[in-house]
Amino acid sequence: MLLRVVFYFLTLIQGIGLGTVSTDDVVVWDTKVERTAEGDYRLFFEASIKEGWYIFSQHSPEGGSQPAFFEFENSKNFERMGEVVESLSIPSYNEVFEVTELIFKQKASFYQDIKLLDPGAVVNITLYYQVCQTVCIAATETFRFELGDVIPSQNDINEVNRSVDELRVPLKNTDRLSATIDQAKSNRFSAWWIGFIGGLIALLTPCVFPLIPLTTSYFSTAKSRNHAFFYGLAIVFIYTLLGFPFLLGWSKDAQFFNELASNLWVNLTLFIVLIGFAFSFISGKEIQIPQSWMQKVDEQANSSKGILAILFMALTLVLVSFSCTGPILGAALGTLLTGNGADLGVNLTLVFNGFGFGLGVPFTLAAYFPSVLKKLPKSGEWMKELKVGLGVVEAFLAFKFLSNADLIGKWGIFKLEYMLGLWMLLWFGLLAYYLIRFIQDKAIGVVRGVLSILSIYLLVLIISGFSSVSNLGFLSAFAPPSYYNLQFQEDAGCPLGLNCFHDLESGIEEAKEEGKPILLDFTGYSCVNCRKMESDVWSDPEIYELLDKKFVIISLYVDDREKLNDDRAGTYFLSNGGTKEVKTIGQYYSLFQGVNFKVISQPYYVPVSSNYDLLNTPVQMTSVADFKRFLDASLKAFEALEVTE
């Protein structure tokens, strides 16, 4: 039993590492319909599986892996004739579960017989399954069949159904796409480290730090000390489990989290939540889990034995420490949500996992090396001062979400200068707080000294940012775009005052007239890395001149929530059998990016000619030197293209 628990946990952790592998690239689904008799139909589902991968059959022995499962949407217009029939599967022995499972490699076929009860029916079917190599990734596919003479409902009348092929452009030199710089792994490591550092910081808070000697004393004996390993593992497991829904949501629709992170109401909600956390830290009024929950978990810990008791002990720690860990975990997750990316669901899960390691591992180490406890600092006022500093960090991050909401909603309220002013008030207030504390007790202290220096440094950056956004340094990633200032013009929306277009057609026409190459700039109002590239890289004088004089920039905002009022709106049927509803400009360009370039993260820069000749390998986050080389090489390719033509 314990072996299985450990196996499931390790599979989850390793599966997150494979998270950026799109199941669409591994399993390609095709469907067809055959009419077998009057009113009777056979629905076929056929999968082509990438070499080295496999999927499970619908039939799994007891104690084996999760089998595939077809879910049919309830309908009074049809009935199923028997169960889903599948092609011949391959027996495969699982050494961990000690059972022989049934799998499919390379090809898998299923069919379902349907009898119509009315002249026509729409059959919606969802398949839940696992895509496996050394580990497994949860996946879902949605299929839609229209059988017989379907009478559309009023909703169907208002909804236009389209093929995703309508979005494809005649790209040439597509071999350059395969060499696109893939930053997924570095992003995953960054996400994990953000969570891990957050866990270590949470360890120093008043809700957690005093529990270290109290908890580790329980594992003082040699036998109990071995249980300390499972205690730390249980903490990691609980936090990872909290992030598991993000991973499942990502596997179903990677674009979902992109849209979620750029949703107006989501950003407003996150602003309110983080401001609440900030107030909790600064005021000392703790946000606590209901007492009844903690009592029930504590009772289970006392009544259980062995590994189960340790698991409930870990859960007790998670609940008891929520008033301190919740805000820090929220801030760590928030740093990910301020950006756009195809791997956002995976990265959010990794933040939870890293946070669990940062919080849980020190408890285990303290149990194995009890002498370390004597060297730990004693609890004191420094913890309160740390909480106040963390509260200001929470508020700083909260205003980023308010800025996102302002940009997405196109309110025109929180301009660049106003946001810089709010930041100044926050850090000046923290510096004044530490100064008052110093006057009172004439002591500096590590926490007070470090956070005071940090406040001064940030204030210098913010003040210099009033003259130029590029002076903000790393803070530029959290600031509104440079064009969004008090001199902002409603029809601008172009970085650094450059000329740009926001739709393909106008930009292509301009490129033809000017005889210039195009830089497709897939960006977002709430994209942190986009702002960083614009302020740190595009602002370089040589790069700025190249962009201004030599290129036609088409900036396509994937989080633009303005409604599509033309014939591009509707439900698009994807090549894998699924569907994607497109109602806004941002949804359209996000899908356009994914269909043509197989990437949905931002920023993403694609150099093309007006005839869609791909001039160079697209790039994302990069340095000034590399981006200049990228632009120069793209220009040379464009000039060579003109010579041959």
Tens digits of residue pLDDT in 403-443:
888 887 778 888 888 999 999 999 999 999 989 988 888 78
pLDDT over 70 at 54, yes or no: yes
Domain that holds residue 109: 2-152
Taking only the tens place, the pLDDT of each residue in 7-40 is 444 444 444 444 334 555 688 888 888 888 888 8
Name the band, by pLDDT with cuts 50, 70 and 90, for residue 330.
Answer: low
- Pull the structure tokens for residue 151: 């009478």
In this prediction, residues 609-638 reach a mean pLDDT of: 90
Mean pLDDT of the chain: 77
Nearest CA among 69, 130, 66, 68 for reference residue 97:
66
Domain co-membership, 235 together with 141: no
Residue 381 neighbours by CB under 8 Å, 6+ apart: none
Cα angle 283, 477, 393; round to 5: 10
Q: Is 282 helix (H, G, I), strand (E, B) or coil?
A: helix
Residue 160 domain flag: no
Residue 440 domain flag: no
Residue 302 neighbours by CB under 8 Å, 6+ apart: 309
Residue 549 neighbours by CB under 8 Å, 6+ apart: none
Q: What does the alpha-carbon distance between residue 83 and residue 100 come to, in Å, rounded to a whole number?
A: 23
Residue 311, pLDDT score = 77
- Pull the structure tokens for residue 354: 């890293």
Domain count, the chain: 3
Residue 478 domain flag: no
Residue 57, pLDDT score = 92
Domain co-membership, 139 together with 198: no
Domain co-membership, 102 together with 251: no
Q: How many other CB atoms are found less than 10 A from the CB of residue 245?
A: 12
Nearest CA among 54, 345, 53 for reference residue 184:
345
Residue 161 domain flag: no
Residue 159 domain flag: no
pTM: 0.56
- Pull the structure tokens for residue 331: 């801030």
Q: Is residue 312 within 8 Å of residue 320, measured between CB atoms?
A: no
Name the band, by pLDDT with cuts 50, 70 and 90, for residue 393.
Answer: confident
Domain co-membership, 101 together with 229: no
Residue 278 domain flag: yes
Q: How many other CB atoms are found less than 10 A from the CB of residue 526?
A: 28
Question: Any bridge partners for residue 94, and if so which?
Answer: 99
Residue 430 domain flag: no
Measured in degrees and rounded to the nearest 5, phi and psi for residue 211 equal: -80, -15
> How many alpha carbons lie under 13 Å from residue 212 in its C-beta half-sphere?
29
Domain co-membership, 136 together with 239: no
222: left (phi over 0), alpha (psi -120 to 50) or beta: alpha
**Among 60-74, 290-304, 438-452, which is the least confidently predicted range?**
290-304
Q: What does the alpha-carbon distance between residue 247 and residue 237 come to, in Å, rounded to a whole number?
A: 15
Residue 560, pLDDT score = 81
Residue 476 domain flag: no
Q: What does the alpha-carbon distance between residue 230 and residue 321 come to, in Å, rounded to a whole number?
A: 19
CATH number of 612's domain: 3.40.30.10
Domain co-membership, 201 together with 132: no
Residue 112, pLDDT score = 93
CATH number of 119's domain: 2.60.40.1250
